């Protein structure tokens, strides 16, 4: 599930079977479909999703938690990188302002000396 069409297909399939499941969440970012259903409905849910042509796998709760944790760590790293880039941009802008002020002051000093 790596595009909006894929996640949409899974969402539509599960929505059609809403009376047979308690709840579901389709996360394209995490490439996970979380479904809450009765134990005897597990195979039915896999079948609903398989009918969309999307592969399913049996992940244990531990595997899912590990995957989600890794995804959260990656997002956190991306956010930190973005914050660092913004900070660098702000510092460059401040330096440019300082340089511009210094240049202006130098020009004013030169103008005073000419008078």
Structure tokens at 14: 């599960």
Strand partners, 33: 26
pTM > 0.95: yes or no? no
pLDDT tens across the length of the chain (115 residues): 567 777 888 788 778 777 777 788 888 887 777 777 766 677 777 777 787 777 777 777 787 778 778 888 998 999 999 999 999 999 999 999 999 988 888 888 888 877 6
Between 42-50 and 4-16, two packed helices, what is the crossing angle to 10 degrees?
130
Residue 39: predicted pLDDT:
64
């Amino acid at each position: 599930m790596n595009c909006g069409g894929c996640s949409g297909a899974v969402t539509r399939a599960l929505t059609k079977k809403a009376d047979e499941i308690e709840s579901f969440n389709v996360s394209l970012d995490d490439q996970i479909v979380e479904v809450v259903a009765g134990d005897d409905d597990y195979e039915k849910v896999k079948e609903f999703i398989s009918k969309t042509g999307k592969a399913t796998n049996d992940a244990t709760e531990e595997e899912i938690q590990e995957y989600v944790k890794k995804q959260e760590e990656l997002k956190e790293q991306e956010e930190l990188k973005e914050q660092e880039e913004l900070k660098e941009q702000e510092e460059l802008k401040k330096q440019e302002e300082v340089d511009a002020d210094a240049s202006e002051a130098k020009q004013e000093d030169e103008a005073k000396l000419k008078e």
